[in-house]
Each structure stands twice: as structure tokens, then as C-alpha cells.
Structure 1
Amino acid sequence: MPKHHNYSKALHHKIFRIISEAADELGVDAYVIGGFVRDHILERGEPTDIDIVAVGSGISLAEKVAEKLPNKPKVQVFKNFGTAMLRAFDMEIEFVGARKESYRQDSRKPIVEDGTLEDDQNRRDFTINALALKLNADGFGDLLDPFDGLSDLQKKILKTPLDPDITYSDDPLRMYRAIRFASQLNFMIEEHSLKAIRRNQDRIKIISKERIIEELNKIMLSPKPSKGLALLFKTGLLRKILPELTALQGIDEVEGQTHKDNFWHTLEVVDNISENTDNLWLRWAALLHDIGKAPTKKFDKRVGWTFHGHEFLGAKMVFRIFKRLRLPLNEKMKYVQKLVLMSSRPIAIVDESVTDSAVRRLVFDAGDDIEDLMTLCEADITTKNPKRFKKYHNNFRIVREKMQEVEERDHIRNFQPPVSGEEIMETFGIKPSREVGQIKDAIKEAILEGDIPNEYEPARDFMLKKGEELGLKEVTS
């Protein structure tokens, strides 16, 4: 006999009383189900979306609720799915009629028919998402928990209400959702369930890339993304979406010389950076920063393992990966490309004993992304040797100090040449031409090299000298 739990405290928001009245007037049983109940019990803060199940018509219930709300919000009806949605009190509330589902082999879209609350709970992905609270006046706040999801919540376990092979085969997106919840909530996936994910990994071919990426981005934004990424790896799902990343796994040995496992190193870097940023695209840059290492790996008898040009190749691979996964191909992709391309630059300039010109070039090339680049480079230090760890961090501190000093003096970050192209054309009486570009580039190089300060007069003098070298004469009025 299930224990009786009442959570009317969770239903303090007036919206639940309004739904309760509407349901009683229509004579239908109504429940709040899924994420709202789970997150209340886990004390995860106030939700912004709520799922309501009606044993009857969800659409009629939504319309009745809208009538009772002060601003009479518009009800969006999705007839094909038997669902309706309205917005109230800064929340999205979705209403659905309780339903039974059956699936065909080639689609994750179910054939739906009306069902009982029990049917509806059976179709849920995990026991912790099948928890329902009654909203009718008779039994308001009573918990209906047919699969002992409350106990799974307390034990931090994810398992499916029915046979996991059926749950995952029916809708393979649930495999990604299992891993996403494990990552977000820091839960364990129960053993049978984990093995079923491995067995059903080939079923993901029926899921759109957009849906997969939605889950992957949620994993990337979880507190410790490596938990989800490691589970994707162990279940075989990661190889299907990011083979370039799984190609980094493993350690080769030639003549007793090995290199580090770049896959597990990458996961550490993603965790490190996640402690310092919620920027999804900076986390993606961390995930892909070493992506070019598998195809550029070579063994050289004199120096051991090398990965020459891996940043350059990695930046090109970013575009292919983003395109294939239907990630945005706009400035977000260009930002990730730029950080991957520049990911070794700050450590390289430390080895040159930090000259001013190297720092100026770094700041010029990174522009407004310099802080993010430094955050990525610091996250990239995963050595377990305390002496080396301290040395690397100390090196980056020196680079940062030097950057600040050079920036205060030379103002390179948002560099605008002190002499414009228009002024060059006017000075020499020429039209737009290759010479204009050559003079502009020469001024920029002279400033970055420290040959002239980033100021108008010295830049103008330099322009006249350069023009002369190119056979141009100043036009005097």
C-alpha cells in the first residue's frame, strides 16, 4: 500500500487554486505532474513551466482556467497533440489530457489515445518525473507515486517506470534526457537502465539533430559537464554525435614515450572552465580546444609526440562540427573558432619571456575576447604536479600583468589606426588602391612591434616615410 504524502504546501501559488476550481466545475480530475513536483521536493527553486494532466480534455481545462484568470490570457491549442498552453504569472502552463501511447519502429512520435492517470504516468520517462499532485479540492496536494519515484529522488537514482528497453526504444531522446538529468541533478543512472542505453544507442538515428543538441547544451550548462559527457562516452552515444572528440581518447606509446589522454584531459578542462563561466559558447570552446590533436598526432624520434598545427586544423573542424550538429553558424561559431585557433597563444608568449610586442599582438588578435581566452588557457592547466601547476598559473599571472601594462600605455584592445585610409588618399592624392592597404598595414605593424607609439603624429610621420618608399609624393595644397 503506497504511503500517503500531501504536498499542499507546494501548491501555494494562486494558479493552482484557479486550476482546482476549473477542474471541479468541469468534473475532471486534474494533476500537476513531472518537473514541478520533482524540483519542489529537491528544493530546486521556483519553476517557470508547469505541466497539468486532466483525466479528460486538457484543452477544455485550459480554456476554463483562462476564463478565470484576471487578464484572460490567450490559449494556444495544439489539436493534433491534444494539448493547450497559456501564460500566466510569468509561467508557461501546459495542459494535456491523460493519454496512452504506442510507438512505431521508425518514429519517436507516438500514436495517442485517451487514457487514465496511470496510463499517463506509465508513459513518463523516469520514475522521478511520474510524480503527480492532485489539484481537485477533494485530495488537494495528495501525491500519486505509483513507481516509488519519491524513494528514487531520495536515493538520487534515475530509472524508467517500465522496462528501460521499451522506454528508450520507443523514444530514444530519453537516453539523452537520462544523461542530462544525471548531469544536472548529480544522480546515478540505475544499472539496468544504463545497460539499456548502451543496447539501444543505434535507435538515435530517428531523432533530429536539433533535439539532440538541445539536450547536449543542457549537459554543457550543468554544474559539472564531465559527468554527462563521460556517460555519453561510456554508453556509446558520444561517438555517434562527436566522433572527433572520442577520437582523442587513448594513449599511444612508441619507444617508451607516451602522451596524455586528450579526451579525459578535455573533460577536465570543461569542468575547470565551468567553475568560472556560464557562457555556453566558452564551454564549447573548452570542449573543442584540442579537437585537432587526433588528426595531427605524429611521433618524432628526436622530440617525441607532436601535434603541429592542431589549433589551425581544430578551428577548421569547428565549422564542420557546428554545421553537422545544426549549431548556429553565426558569430557564436566564429567565437568558438577564434578561441580554438588562439588556445595556445598565451602559453607560447610566456616561453618568449613575454616581450611587449608579443603581448601587443596577442591583445590585438584576441580583441574583446582576450579575457575569455585567458580563462580558457587557465582552465587548460590540468597537471597533477603541484610544482608545474603553480608555475603555469604564475606564468599566466605575468602575462595578465604585462597585458594590463601594455594596454594602459598602447590602447591596443580595440585598435583603430591613428591615420585613416581617407587621410592616406588625401595626403598622396591617390584613389583606393593596394598602396593604401600597404601603408595602413605598415602603420599597424610598426605600432604592434613598438617601433612607433599608438599616437597620431608619429603615425603620420611614419605614413609619409612609407609613402615615399612606395614612390608616392605628398600633395601640398
Structure 2
Amino acid sequence: MQPVAAAVERLQALADSPRIRALAERFADAGHELALVGGPVRDAFLGRDAHDLDFATSATPDEILAVIAPIADTHWDIGRAFGTIGARLGELTVELTTYRSDVYDGTTRKPVVAFGDSLEGDLLRRDFTVNAMALRLPEKVLVDPSGGLDDLLARRLRTPIEPEVSFGDDPLRMLRGARFTAQLGFALEPATASAIEAMAGRIDIVSAERVGEELSKLLLAPDPVPGLRVLVETGLAEHVLPELPALRLEIDEHAHHKDVYEHSLTALTQAIALERSRGHAPDLVLRLAVLLHDIGKPATRRIEPGGAVSFHHHDVLGAKLATKRLRELRFDGDTIKAVATLIRLHLRFFGYADTSWTDAAVRRYVRDAGEQLERLHILSRADVTTRNQRKAARLQRAYDELEERIAVLAEEEELAALRPDLDGEQIMAILGIRPGPEVGEAYRHLLELRLDEGPLGPEAAEARLREWWAARPPV
């Protein structure tokens, strides 16, 4: 947390930058109010740099355009229906929004846009007090009608007005509360948390796209786990991601097994640490896959003779459940496919740890993972959450060995390609056949040989192809 005096100096320096000063003067000359609002003001007190700046103004969208067009490098009005005009001013990207007071009418899935008439009124309609501060321009006066600075210093999330009213106006704010606990490391004020518990069902009127976007932002936070716990503990997860609270499997005296919910959160924390240590940026696909990798367990849980617990085929079912949930949340097809692939394959490594794999098995592991191989490496490693240090060390050594074998085979065999020694055109020329199912059968046969035996070379591959073709039953 930046000292208050330093943060104020930071805000004033930003306001004194030539581009912002010129913008503020143009709005003032045109008779309109202008203020820097929300995240950039909050982040100044947190010591964070602001790259995209949000402004609130008394000007209407048409009036904003009239002021901004002459000095902007480019501008756009894709958010015009919501009162927002975007522009680029040199290195700065800015959004300027007419004072707002959005509400839901209780039946629609999108907020009804209503323009307000004062900065204070606009701020009181925002989600949390820490986001409801503004720097009035060009005067450079801090406006904080709801005590946001005090809450910021206390690392507390509180709504500017009664939480029941705020969440009734826009239920998505409840999800934002979970997200900000993850992004900022703040805690929900008790009355705010209680209101979320009481009103969790209101999230159902929010569009799936908006819910999916908030969940994505939460998962991409430096530490998503506190936010996920808020979702589960307040009951929001029952409405937006019910597979997550379902992981809290009951543990009885006859079936002692690990709590799958806590295991999944621990695995996510470990995956994020591996993500960083391996030099990757925050990865939504990976984090979704780790969080959801065991969601097939509740439906496949069985008590075996002797009291052991099994979850046979939870990987296959989990991939199907994840696909269904992510489609309902309107995730894109590539993300859904990648997450499902990772969940379906997440148990594969444990077979390697138990028995020695042949080179053919290693090749198949790489082939089946495809573009998801690096993510599968991280997921498989993160999935080891046992407290048995000897077992954990053994599994880590096994995966180290597997990655080393993959690297050696890749160098020797161009493993990433994993194609047969002959392509479709060559297969048709050798066998004298036209395009059709037989070409695909031949291609797959050569691919299996490639996986089992490694590169054969064109001549040996042709001989094996002719041998297979001659032995093939007549159609």
C-alpha cells in the first residue's frame, strides 16, 4: 500500500501530464465536468501503474465526441449505448462515460442504462467503495463520498450504499466481490458478505457471457483461491459453477479419502507456482483445467469392498461435464476443447509412475496431448498434493524422468511432428488408390508404426505399407 501522500502526488502528476491536462481543459472550456474515476484512482493508492484510464463526465456521448475528436489519435463509440466513448491519446487509452445510474428491472439479463446528473451520484452507484473514488479535473480534488480511502487502507470491500440495493441494481457486483478478493487481497465486509449469501440467486438474471468474463478475471488473478472460496462460502458457486461446491465430498468413518474440493484448490495453487517458475504468463486454459480436473468424481464415487473409495472413469466424465459447463458460460470453442483434453488426460501420467513405459507409450502421450503437452506437464505435477513426502518425491522424480525422455525422443525423432513416414499423396501413389477411406486407414496404420517403432524411413515404410495392404481382408 502506497502512503497516502505519495499516492496523492502520483495522482496529481498523472493529472498534470500534457495529454490529460489538455483533455481536462477542453471539457472545462465546453462547460462539462470531468473526473478520473475508479480503478486508476484506487491503483494509485496501491502503487500500481495505470495504463488505461477511466473518466466520468457530465457530458452526453455526443458532447464527449465533440470534445475528444479534435485531439484524439483515434476514437470509437462501440459503448455509446452505455454512454461510453473510447479514445487513444498518444500512449494513453481512455474511456469517457456519462454519469451513470444503471439498474436491473428485475427481469432482463442486462442493466437498464440511465444517465445521472452528478459525480457523487455516479460514484455511489459503483460496485465497491474502493472503486468509488475520483479525482476531479482540472481542479485535482479527491472526491470520496463513501469512505473508499478508509476501506482501502483497511483492505476491506464494502458497497457505497446498502449492499442489498447495490446487488439488486446489478447482481454481477456479487461476483466482482469474489474477484476483488482474489485480485486485491481484500476481505468482504461482514454485512456485504451476508447480503451476497442472501441474494446469491439473483445472479441468475445476469447473462452467461458476463458471468463467464468475471470468472475468467477471477481465475487470472495472482491468487484466485480466496475468490473461489468466497464463491463457495456465499452460495454463488451453486448458481455459476455448481461443480465446484459439489467437490466437498462427505468423508465418513468407513471411507477415508482426501477432500476433493481442498485438493483442487491446492492443485490450482501449485499449478500457478509452476506456471510462474516455468516462465509462463497467467494461463486461463490451464487454470480452468486444474480447477475442474476432478469434477467427475462426485458422480463416479464408489465404496469398494474393504472401505476403499474409487472414482473410475472420472477423467472421461469430468471432460464431458467441463465441456457442458463452459459452453453454458459461453467460453470459446478452442478454450473448451483444450480444457476437456487436459481433464481427459490428467490421469495418464500416473500409469507411467507405476510401470516403466516403452518409447511407444511416451510417443502416444505426446501425440494425445498435442498442443496441450506443456499444460499437461503442469497439471500432472500440480495434481500431486499428497502429504506423504516420500510418495511426492517419487512422483516428482518419475515426471522429471518422463519429461527428459520426451526431450530426448523429440531431439532424436522430431517428436513434435509425429507424422507417418509417408503422406497421403505418397500412400495413394504406392497403392494405386484414389482418395477415400482406405487412404485414412493406411495413414493411421503407418502412424501406429511410427508411434511403436519410431521413424522407419520412406523405403521401410513403403515395404510395411505394401505388406499391410496385401494382408488386408478383401472388401
Does the pair score TM above 0.5? yes
Match of 2:312 in 1: 308
Identity of matched residues, % = 33
- Say if 2:286 is the partner of 1:285: no
Rate the CA distance shift 1:303–1:37 in 2: closer, same or farther, 3 A.
same
* Deviation of the 1:29 alpha carbon: 3.1
How far apart in 2 are the matches of 1:28 and 1:279? 42
Contact preservation (8 Å) 2:248, 2:260: yes
2:94: which partner in 1? 93
Q: Which moved more, 1:277-286 or 1:56-65?
A: 56-65
Aligned twin of 2:361 = 358
For residue 34 of structure 1, the aligned residue among 21, 38, 41 is 38
Q: Which amino acid aligns with 1:98?
A: Y
Distance 2:439 2:114 in 1: 69
C-alpha displacement of 1:103: 5.4
For structure 1, which segment, 283-292 or 409-418, has the greater mean C-alpha deviation from structure 2 after superposition? 409-418
Question: Which residue is 2:448 aligned to?
Answer: 445
More deviation, 163-172/79-88: 79-88
State the Cα deviation string for residues 144-163 of structure 1 (Å, max 9, x = none). 12222112112211111111
| Residue 475 (structure 1) aligns with | none
Residue correspondence of structure 1 range 200-219 to structure 2 within 5 A: 200-219=199-218
Matched, 1:177 2:176: yes
Write out per-residue CA displacement over residues 92-139 of structure 1, whole angstroms, 9 at most, x where no aligned residue. Answer: 423233355665333462463542222122112111111111212xxx
Superposed, 1:66-465 pairs within 5 Å as 66-67=69-70, 69=71, 71=73, 73-74=74-75, 76=77, 80-100=81-101, 104-107=105-108, 109-110=111-112, 112-136=114-138, 140-253=139-252, 256-275=254-273, 276=275, 277=280, 278-302=282-306, 304-328=308-332, 330-432=333-435, 435-450=438-453, 453-465=455-467
Q: Does the C-alpha gap of structure 1 residues 24 and 394 become closer, same or farther in structure 2, counting only changes over 3 Å? A: same
Pair 1:414–1:80, CA change in 2 (3 A): closer
Q: Distance in 2 between matches of 1:327 and 1:393?
A: 33
Q: Is the 8 A contact 1:366 1:373 kept in 2?
A: yes
CA distance in 1, matches of 2:424, 2:124: 70
Q: Secondary structure at the match of 1:243?
A: coil
User: CA RMSD of the aligned region, Å?
Assistant: 2.5
Rounded to whole Å, the distance in 1 between the matches of 2:60 and 2:393 is 64
Kept after mapping to 2: 8 A contact 1:59/1:96? no
Aligned-partner residue type, residue 77 of structure 2: Q
Cα deviation, 1:200-230, whole Å, max 9, x if unaligned, reads 1111121100011111000010011111111
* Alpha-carbon distance, 1:323 to partner: 1.7
Separation of aligned partners in 2, 1:390 and 1:112: 59
Distance 1:213 1:117 in 2: 30
The Cα shift of 1:444 comes to: 2.5
| Cα 1:353/1:33, change in 2 over 3 Å | same
| Aligned-partner residue type, residue 104 of structure 1 | D
Instruction: Establish whether residue 466 from structure 1 lines up as the match of residue 468 from structure 2.
Output: yes
Once residues 298 and 149 of structure 2 are traced to their aligned partners in structure 1, the CA distance between those partners, rounded to angstroms, is 45
**Alpha-carbon separation, structure 2, partners of 1:281 and 1:363:** 18
Rounded Cα–Cα distance in structure 2 between residues aligned with 1:114 and 1:244? 40
Q: CA deviation at 1:81?
A: 4.0
Kindly provide the CA deviation profile for residues 256-278 of structure 1, in whole angstroms up to 9, marking residues without a partner as x: 33221112211222222223141
CA distance in 2, matches of 1:59, 1:15: 21
Q: Give ranges in structure 1 of 5+ residues lacking alignment.
A: 473-477
Hey, what's the Cα distance between the residues in 2 that align with 1:102 and 1:281?
33
Give the distance between the partners of 2:394 and 2:459, measured in 1 at CA.
Answer: 42
The alignment of Structure 1 onto Structure 2 pairs a total of residues equal to 461
Separation (CA, whole Å) in 1 of partners of 2:12 and 2:441: 74
Indicate how the Cα distance of structure 1 residues 469 and 100 shifts in structure 2: closer, same or farther if over 3 A, else same: closer
The residue type equivalent to 1:429 in the other structure is G
* Shift in Å, 1:413: 2.6
For the structure 1 residues 161 and 56, does the alpha-carbon distance in structure 2 shift closer, same or farther, using more than 3 Å as the test? same
> Contact 2:103/2:113 (CA < 8 Å) preserved in 1?
yes
Given residue 300 of structure 1, which amino acid in structure 2 is its aligned partner? E
Secondary structure at 1:334's aligned position in 2? helix
Unaligned 5+ segments in structure 2 are none
